[in-house]
């Protein structure tokens, strides 16, 4: 009972802190929140929908702002939205088929990939490649993989969508807006699947999600006025690499 009460105090604070920190770099916090909850002995099948709820709330606000400002290219984003929305439930459902150790191994690799992207990937190198066409197949495949991983791991697929779309030659600023628009759809789709499977703890999920939402808003405001995103992203990338190392040591140590 004491552990449960302690977690009810710690988890919202953790969600707030991580969301604030990751918002400084323009990154969703679920990628760090899910393993952190798991290490606090929250069952992984509860931690993952909590991360998806955090993504849904935090990224919806960013998407509404982008739509109002007419920054969103709907035609380019639709194939990613549809494929990620359809594949996220499959990722969530396949939790029943994939051993927990395998899921954690995939998570560690995803953390490693995301951390390396934050540290080393520079979208500015691709800014001269402004494609204006709107293909369907490649974005749909990217969205499918990102959606599946989103459902399987309980994180947004933005750290996969953004670099791959930029490598295909699309405007990094346009890609960032599309990514912010896609993540709530895949997250909500995966979240609903977990809820229908009965993996729900509202006493944990709602306080954590609300705290993360507030932390994300404050972090975004601070980032816009005081911090350089590239510097923060390197720090966050290093943090993700440490999380990947810790998870790897737990799995194979």
pLDDT band at 248 (very low <50, low <70, confident <90, very high): confident
pLDDT band at 94 (very low <50, low <70, confident <90, very high): very high
For residue 96, what are its two tokens? 């029943």
Dist CA 211 CA 20 (whole Å): 10
Torsion angle (degrees, nearest 10) of CA 144, 238, 12, 159: -20
* Res. 126: pLDDT tops 60: no
* Res. 86: pLDDT tops 90: yes
Contact call for residues 164 and 142 (beta carbons, < 8 A): yes
**pLDDT tens string 215-234:** 877 876 776 566 666 777 88
Is residue 130 helix, strand or coil? coil
Of 189, 183, 59, 82, nearest in space to 141 by CA: 82
Structure confidence at residue 48 (pLDDT): 93
Structure confidence at residue 59 (pLDDT): 75
Q: Stretch 23-31: mean pLDDT, rounded?
A: 75
Structure confidence at residue 152 (pLDDT): 94
Contact call for residues 210 and 8 (beta carbons, < 8 A): no
Dist CA 199 CA 181 (whole Å): 26
Q: Where are the alpha helices (DSSP H) in the chain?
A: 2-23, 30-39, 44-68, 74-93, 100-120, 137-153, 158-167, 172-196, 202-226, 229-252
Structure confidence at residue 196 (pLDDT): 93
Considering the entire predicted model, what is its pTM? 0.86
Indicate the average pLDDT of the chain.
84
DSSP assignment, residue 124?
G
């Amino acid at each position: 009972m004491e552990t449960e009460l302690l977690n009810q105090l710690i988890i919202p604070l953790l969600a707030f802190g991580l969301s604030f920190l990751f918002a400084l770099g323009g990154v969703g916090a679920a990628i760090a929140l899910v393993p952190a909850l798991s290490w606090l002995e929250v069952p992984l099948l509860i931690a993952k929908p909590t991360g998806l709820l955090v993504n849904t709330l935090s990224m919806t606000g960013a998407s509404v702002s982008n739509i109002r400002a007419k920054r969103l290219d709907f035609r380019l984003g639709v194939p990613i939205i549809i494929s990620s929305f359809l594949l996220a439930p499959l990722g969530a459902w396949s939790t029943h088929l994939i051993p927990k150790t395998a899921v954690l191994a995939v998570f560690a690799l995803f953390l490693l990939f995301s951390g390396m992207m934050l540290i080393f990937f520079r979208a500015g190198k691709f800014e001269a490649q402004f494609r204006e066409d709107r293909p369907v197949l490649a974005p749909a495949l990217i969205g499918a993989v990102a959606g599946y991983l989103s459902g399987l791991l309980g994180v947004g697929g933005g750290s996969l969508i953004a670099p791959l779309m930029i490598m295909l030659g699309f405007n990094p600023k346009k890609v960032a807006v599309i990514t912010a628009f896609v993540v709530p759809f895949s997250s909500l789709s995966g979240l609903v699947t977990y809820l229908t499977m009965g993996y729900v703890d509202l006493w944990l999920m709602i306080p954590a999600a609300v705290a993360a939402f507030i932390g994300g808003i404050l972090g975004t405001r601070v980032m816009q006025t005081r911090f350089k995103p590239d510097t923060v992203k390197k720090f966050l990338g290093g943090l993700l690499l440490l999380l990947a190392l810790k998870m790897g040591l737990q799995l194979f140590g």
